[in-house]
Amino acid sequence: MKQVRLNNGVMMPSIGFGVYQIPQNETERAVTDALEIGYRMIDTASSYFNEKEVGDAVRNSGIKREELFITTKLWVQDYEYDDALRAFEKSMKLLGLDYLDLYLLHKPYGNYYSAWRAVERLYKEGRIRAIGVTSFPDERLLDMMLHNEIKPMVNQIETNPIHQQKASNAFLCREGIQHEAWAPFAEGKGDIFNHPLLKAISKQHRKSIGQVILRWLNQRNVVVIPKTVHKERMAENFDIFNFTLTDKEMSIISELDTGASLIYDAADLPTVRFISTHKIHD
């Protein structure tokens, strides 16, 4: 398993298994399958409502805790300092863990300064091995870094052939923050699995389009967390380290970038209002 070294020295797997949008009644089975295949990083969030099922699969796997890398996320509703501490304890109880490998602020809205300082405290106490953010644009991430003590180790942002985040990737590399991709397949939008250029590259390597996309991200030093409920697809997604895309192929994929998301517009005011006010508990 290829790993990346975070800016605090912690080693993070370069590929993990995401559980976004996997129903509670399917999560334990899906995570169990992923662990059997060889995944050692599992990515969940309080807003996914399946932390308990992830924890059940982890506990029942028989895999040593130190071999696993578990990520969860703090939702915007709990960004006040004391709320963040309480939400962390709730997530840990649901997961059934003594420590967490990576804790992320889920969106760049609300009082994320206060939330970050609570997360810094948990990190200093040794409750979390690495801390970071999700979906933070470069300017907000830089501002937060300049006015807080601990630099984030990870920024998990939407990244795929349609929305490649080239500027953000360069910024994160300069700052020593690990780029992690959510929605590496653009959630299937834009008919990405039938793109003729990706098809041609996949045929050349006798790999699927999904494998080509994940390998392209891997060669950009981007960590990936593909999601699927099908065990055969999990195995396929995991099998990306036995081929290499050429510089020409990397360049061809680079030209597919539109610079815009097919999933949601982070600058759309109704979207910002919805995310900022969305409650996941009473």
Tell me the catalytic residues: 48
Contacting residues for 6 by C-beta, under 8 A, at least 6 apart: 12, 130, 153, 154, 178
The type of residue at 174 is R
HEC profile for 21-85?
A: CCCHHHHHHHHHHHHHHCCCEEECCHHHCCHHHHHHHHHHCCCCHHHCEEEEEECHHHCCHHHHH
Q: Quick one: DSSP state of residue 261?
A: -
Main-chain phi, psi angles of 270, to 5 degrees: -60, -35
Could you tell me which of 107, 113, 123 has the C-alpha nearest to residue 182? 107
- Token output for 269: 């005011």
